[in-house]
Amino acid sequence: MSTAYKAAGVDVEAGYEAVKLMKEHVNKTVIPGVLSGIGGFGGLFELGEGYKNPVLVSGTDGVGTKLRLAFLMDKHDTIGQDCVAMCANDIACSGAKPLFFLDYLAVGKNVPTRIAEIVKGVADGCVLAGAALIGGETAEMPGFYEPEEYDLAGFCVGVIDKDKIIDGSKTKVGDVLVGIASSGIHSNGYSLVRKVFNLDGEGAKERLMETPAGLGCTLGEALLTPTKIYVKPLLSVIEKFDVHAVSHITGGGFYENIPRMLPENMHAKVVKDSFETPAIFRLMEERAGLSERDLYNTFNMGIGLIMAVDKSEADAIVSHLASLGEKAWVIGEVAEGAGEVELI
């Protein structure tokens, strides 16, 4: 063991212990195609058969400043799901099936039990996405991060047959929009969230322990609710119905993300009262007096994923999602326009 390196703030032995503790969580994500375990220099995955013209689809993202709340609450076992969700949901929008995920964790101090908790959340997310966690990197960076701080990012790779790619090209005027419920704020807009609830100053931890009227839980519990992973219900819908386009509602809310799935000569009409808006969004609106534009341009407002489908299939899709335990609604339609979103 290098005593000099440990004196500089990097505990190699703690790193070994962290790997040992995380293995049980990683092992539960193994799926057909995994050829290697953690600890090697590269994660190996065999694509296998069943694809005529396979196309690999990749996505990368991090958790963002939602991590600040995990630090304040000293709760680290769900934040990994946010990381997986932000990547896996994105690649599923093209119809791709996630295959594997890798994470990157940079810490101020290597606390093996905390790292194991973080990786547990990553592994839980991978199970929900049907992806294998085949590798990652943990970097101890004393002096760069505070001892209780860390950053978490990752990337996901999936596969789809080329002729099955969903790219919005089949979207047409008259299609309807089916939205699937979010689990809350997900993992976007937390710089604004922290400002609204004054979570960067003195007393922030105490404010997170409060239970605001109508919320049904503490503020901290509501804000740390992990991002919903839509992969399995979405792929189930794609298998049974003709889905023309898909949008993951992340940073930029409705106004930025819905146009990404539409042809340039079309726009979306969204009926605001057609779906349930979780209480946390109304609480933010009351506390900060946020405008409608600010809300829908920053947050998912209760809809985490939107599909454009033929009107004749919409009700059946909503029913199918309900059978999978997902709340979904017809929330609007595609009309002629210029790639904009109209709230009505």
> H or E stretch including 278?
none
Least trusted range by pLDDT, from 42-46, 84-88, 154-158, 330-334: 42-46
Q: What is the mean pLDDT of the chain?
A: 92
CA distances from 39 to 15, 136, 153 (A): 11, 9, 19
* pLDDT over threshold 80, residue 133: yes
Exposure string of 226-235, with b = 16+ CB inside 10 Å and e = fewer, is bbbbbbbbbb
* pLDDT over threshold 60, residue 5: no
pLDDT band (50, 70, 90) for residue 32: confident
Phi, psi of 159 (to 5 degrees): -140, 150
pLDDT at 35: 82
d(CA 1, CA 8): 13
Residue entry with tokens 């419920």: 181
pLDDT at 233: 98
Residue 71, burial from CB neighbour count under 10 angstroms (0-12, 13-18, 19+): middle
pLDDT at 42: 79
Which of the 8 DSSP states describes residue 11? -
Write out the DSSP string of 218-238.
Answer: -HHHHHHPPPPP-HHHHHHHH
What tokens does 79 get?
């934040």
All structural domains of the chain: 3-164 (3.30.1330.10), 176-343 (3.90.650.10)
Contact between 123 and 29 (Cβ < 8 Å)? yes
Contact between 121 and 85 (Cβ < 8 Å)? no
pLDDT at 30: 81
CA distances from 191 to 42, 86, 283, 297 (A): 35, 17, 16, 14
Distance linking the first and last C-alpha atoms of the chain = 65
- Give the whole-number percent of the chain exceeding pLDDT 70: 92
What tokens does 194 get?
């922290």
- Give the whole-number percent of the chain exceeding pLDDT 90: 79
